[in-house]
A and B are shown apart, each in its own frame.
Chain A
């Protein structure tokens, strides 16, 4: 996936050099297994939507954010919802595992 498109590939776009990027990525699990069907949404500090990706086969997601504090919201079938606060900064990969 290159940025000549605008869509969100499952699991998020392939990470490039984190040097210029503020990457937030991770994986969604249930009982230790990956959750492959669901969505990860990134919300800003005001609670407004910023971006969304479908989860990858391994439950993975990745965002290229701006520096700051964000909320990660997970949606999955069966009315599953989970939220985590997350901080991002340029040159850093913030990694988190979300158990639902």
Chain B
């Protein structure tokens, strides 16, 4: 796996516009962004209503994912190119999610919607019509998804990478600074976690930094041991999907899991250890 296998740039998207077997997918939490304008022929997936179970806190099951992709006209052997707002957080989350259900060929548009917009590239409002498919998903790949007991068991043993902002890590904020601070759970971080905010992996235009810069960031500056397995987490698992993409897909670290329960689950668990204060 190398960078060119998993990342494409705007020129690639424009050159492959209309190709059979290439499906562009915008993934946002706020789907009004897609409705106001999207890259030509992109279909949309809503991070929440399409990918989360409406009752339990969990993902849609295998049959639900199959129904979703079939309805969007995505086939098993299609190349899926994901992009979105928020510096590709939700697109990276969808990338991880597509991998969880075994889709083979998935790529991210580097820089996502922001870089595309800042470069004044074309956005359209026409919604494409794609013929439905009969998509078959795999069972979830448990090698890339961590649950709470694994997070607790990893304390002091595996790399835990907390990708939230320093104020969230320290316990001073319970959510990112663009959202109201109204959470009820405890603040802080999982003991022994390193704090490497997701934003340090991205340039200002939302594109990923070079492999050398990323390696230096995690291994040399933050002290992540590349010889050990890693669990990444944030607040609800999408910023850490961005970091999972960096560690697993760009840097080729073999055993990296995204803990999608993240701080909204961990910080509400009874009896688990919590550390507060800034990274040392």
Residues of A within 8 A of B (CB): 1, 3-10, 12-13, 16, 20-21, 37-39, 41-42, 44, 48-54, 62-66, 75-78
Contact = CB atoms under 8 A, between A and B. Distances in A.
A8 B175 CA distance: 11
B29 A6 contact: yes
Nearest to A54: B85
A56 B238 CA distance: 23
A7 B181 contact: no
Contact of A6 (B32, B89, B204): B89
| Band of interface residues on B | 35 or more
B87 A64 contact: no
A62 B47 CA distance: 22
B120 A78 contact: yes
B117 A37 contact: yes
B33 interface: yes
B215 interface: no
Contacts, number: 107
B30 A7 contact: yes
Interface string B13-40: 0000000000000001110110000000
B118 A5 contact: no
Given A49-B197, A50-B167, A7 B86 contact: yes
Nearest to A12: B178
B3 to A, nearest CB: 22
Interface of B: 28-30, 32-33, 47-48, 85-87, 89-90, 114, 117-120, 165-167, 172-173, 175-183, 197, 199-200, 204-205, 234-236, 238-239
Nearest to B183: A3
A13 B166 CA distance: 21
Interface SS of B by simple majority: loop
The 6 closest A-B pairs by CB, nearest first: A7-B29, A51-B177, A49-B199, A51-B178, A77-B120, A8-B178
A7 B118 contact: no
Contacts of B87: 52
Contact of B178 (A13, A37, A48): A13
Given A10-B33, A16-B180, A76-B118, A5 B236 contact: yes
Given A62-B178, A77-B117, A7 B166 contact: no
A8 to B, nearest CB: 5
A4 B234 CA distance: 13
Among A1, A37, A50, the one with the most B-chain Cβ atoms within 10 Å of its Cβ is: A50
B180 A3 contact: yes
Contacts of B85: 7-8, 54
A51 B275 CA distance: 23
A80 to B, nearest CB: 9
Contacts of A41: 204
Contact of B90 (A1, A7, A16, A37): A7
Contacts of B173: 66
20 contacts: A1-B179, A5-B47, A5-B236, A6-B235, A7-B28, A8-B86, A8-B176, A9-B30, A10-B30, A10-B32, A12-B178, A21-B181, A42-B178, A48-B199, A49-B165, A51-B165, A51-B177, A52-B87, A64-B180, A77-B120
